[in-house]
Structure 1
Amino acid sequence: MNFSIEGKTAIVTGAARGIGLAIARHFEMQGANVVFADNDEAALDAELGPDNGQQGRVLGFGGDLGQKLTLANLVSATIDAFDRVDILVNAHRTVQACDPMSTDDELIGDMLRQNMTSSLRLSQLVAKRMVQQTRDEPDPLQAGAIINMTSLVADRPQPNMLAYSIASAAQAQATRSLAIALAPKRIRVNGVAFGSIMSNQLQLNLKEAPELRERLVSATPLGRIAGADELGATVQYLASEAASFVTGQILRVDGGRSIADPSTPAIF
């Protein structure tokens, strides 16, 4: 099996911090060309340096990824720098708690736009480029791979995560639908649903409520919170030829939480 992504070009969104950054850095260490994309240009500058990573195998791209023009510019910047794009990791996520009895349409719409719509738009743009660049290649095993980050709350909803649960479920369904649509083009689309991973949001939650740590650990059969860098190898597998016959799947990386006693509350 070939797990290598060396020499491939990957776009990773949400790459200024947390899970997206950990995945982007892992890809860089594995020899891929990596575009670190994020809404927060200042955070990208701080992470990649004053030249915004515009050297070697790394490129930083900051801008509002909710805008169609920004997404088109992201793909163009990737092609200008590396001539092609082979992998897309949609790791940008926005999480917001809400009261399920008073959640309004605007919040649900915002969660959908920020967690599903923008990644779907980018996936469409990248898929078109993947098809174009492989048109003249001799029947490659795969034209490209798209990996979406989602959450256990897609099918294990939590009381105060109504809007995010809906958005996560939409992201999972978009993953499966795109997988069917793009399979004839040899583009694979998969998702990763994770549980207690030390994301930026979880770090903030633990600062506000330190007692949450024990609840998370006790709800996870493996008995710990995973580091953000542990997702890198999982995403690499889905992006590599080792997963050449895997598409439309939502791989759970949760320390066993999703198979635990269903009476145990799922805790974000």
Structure 2
Amino acid sequence: MADKNMVDEIGGKVAIITGAASGIGLATAELFTERGAKVVAVDLNPDVKKLASADLFPVVADVTTDGSAEMAVTAAVERFGRLDTLVNNAGYINYKEVVETSREEWEKVMAINSTGYFLFSREAMKVMLPQKSGAIVNIASYASYFAFKGIAPYAASKGAVAQLTRALALEAAPHGIRVNAIGSGDVVTNILDSFRDDGREFLVEHGKAAPIGRSAEPREIAEVVAFLASDRASFVVGSVFMVDGGFSVQIA
């Protein structure tokens, strides 16, 4: 049920959210449904099916596989009648220096973090163009601009997201569709769990280096997603909206 103290910014909208079984995606799916939106929640993890409700339709799919985006868009239109918002969030990271990174690892990161965004954006646009309305919100990163050792594939993929956002925004804006991204900083999620047991703890510690002195909770990013998806952000086009606790503005 929507919080009556919040602005009715996304009530009645229909959204596809990828990577929706955990982290930022889950927080965004929960926030959207709480505020009256309908959601198609996409994730490779079958746990996404546990979110099913009258307002949320789960789709188990790999965002990198041909047909997954088409399936999600079809589900939105057939279940809820339209598609207003796409949130590209599914993500993957490895922590290895370049000389230790295999081609397979490189391609996996790029496929999930950039190719998946392209595929879902392309299919969403096909529905949004006839409507002359819509919003695409891409979860980028402070690593879209900056880097540190061990994340070359991730940084490259998130740089691609920033440029995809800008280029697609130019194509979309004349048709009433806004495309923007969020330059997320450290967020306490399970994204590191594939290669370390203390992933959440590591993110908590790493976030202390930000000027704000902490990492974000997923809900804090979801709040910005809701804003960018809403009509309140009607003049925001092609932006990479930095939500990183100040990481990107400090020298050291």
With the length of structure 2 as denominator, give the TM-score of the two structures: 0.91
The aligned residue for residue 87 of structure 1 is: 85
Separation (CA, whole Å) in 2 of partners of 1:98 and 1:30: 40
The aligned residue for residue 238 of structure 1 is: 228
Give the stretch that moved more between structures: 68-77 or 11-20. Answer: 68-77
Describe the shift of the 1:222–1:128 C-alpha distance in structure 2 as closer, same or farther (beyond 3 A).
same
Describe the shift of the 1:166–1:211 C-alpha distance in structure 2 as closer, same or farther (beyond 3 A).
closer
The aligned residue for residue 6 of structure 1 is: 11
The aligned residue for residue 100 of structure 1 is: 98
Deviation at 1:210, TM superposition (A): 4.9
Separation (CA, whole Å) in 2 of partners of 1:207 and 1:79: 40
1:127 aligned onto 2:118: no
Describe the shift of the 1:208–1:148 C-alpha distance in structure 2 as closer, same or farther (beyond 3 A).
closer
1:44 aligned onto 2:48: yes
Aligned with 1:216 (options 207, 217, 226): 207
Separation (CA, whole Å) in 2 of partners of 1:9 and 1:212: 32
Deviation at 1:67, TM superposition (A): 1.3
Give the stretch that moved more between structures: 106-115 or 206-215. Answer: 206-215
AA aligned to 2:86 is L
The aligned residue for residue 193 of structure 1 is: 183
Separation (CA, whole Å) in 2 of partners of 1:235 and 1:5: 10
Describe the shift of the 1:121–1:203 C-alpha distance in structure 2 as closer, same or farther (beyond 3 A).
closer
AA aligned to 2:168 is L
> What secondary structure does 1:229 align onto?
helix
Question: How many residues get paired?
Answer: 245
Equivalent residue runs for 1:1-268 within 5 Å: 4-41=9-46, 43-45=47-49, 47-48=50-51, 53=52, 55-134=53-132, 143-201=133-191, 207=198, 210=201, 213-217=204-208, 219-261=209-251, 264=252
Separation (CA, whole Å) in 1 of partners of 2:82 and 2:203: 43
Deviation at 1:220, TM superposition (A): 1.1
Q: CA-to-partner distance for each residue in 1:24-77, whole Å, 9 max, x for gaps?
A: 111111110111111112x113x32xxxx1x42111111222112122111111
AA aligned to 2:18 is T
Separation (CA, whole Å) in 2 of partners of 1:3 and 1:112: 36
The runs of at least 4 aligned residues of structure 1 exceeding 6 Å deviation read none
AA aligned to 1:222 is I
Describe the shift of the 1:161–1:74 C-alpha distance in structure 2 as closer, same or farther (beyond 3 A).
same
**Does the 8 Å contact 1:3/1:240 carry over to 2?**
no
Separation (CA, whole Å) in 2 of partners of 1:212 and 1:237: 25
Describe the shift of the 1:239–1:3 C-alpha distance in structure 2 as closer, same or farther (beyond 3 A).
farther
AA aligned to 1:61 is V
Q: Aligned-pair RMSD on alpha carbons?
A: 1.9
Structure 1: tracts of 5 or more residues without a match: 135-142
> What secondary structure does 1:180 align onto?
helix
Separation (CA, whole Å) in 2 of partners of 1:16 and 1:200: 11
Deviation at 1:101, TM superposition (A): 2.7
With the length of structure 1 as denominator, give the TM-score of the two structures: 0.85
Answer with 1 or 2: which has the greater Rg.
1
**Does the 8 Å contact 1:192/1:251 carry over to 2?**
yes
Identity %: 34
Describe the shift of the 1:133–1:212 C-alpha distance in structure 2 as closer, same or farther (beyond 3 A).
closer
The aligned residue for residue 140 of structure 1 is: none
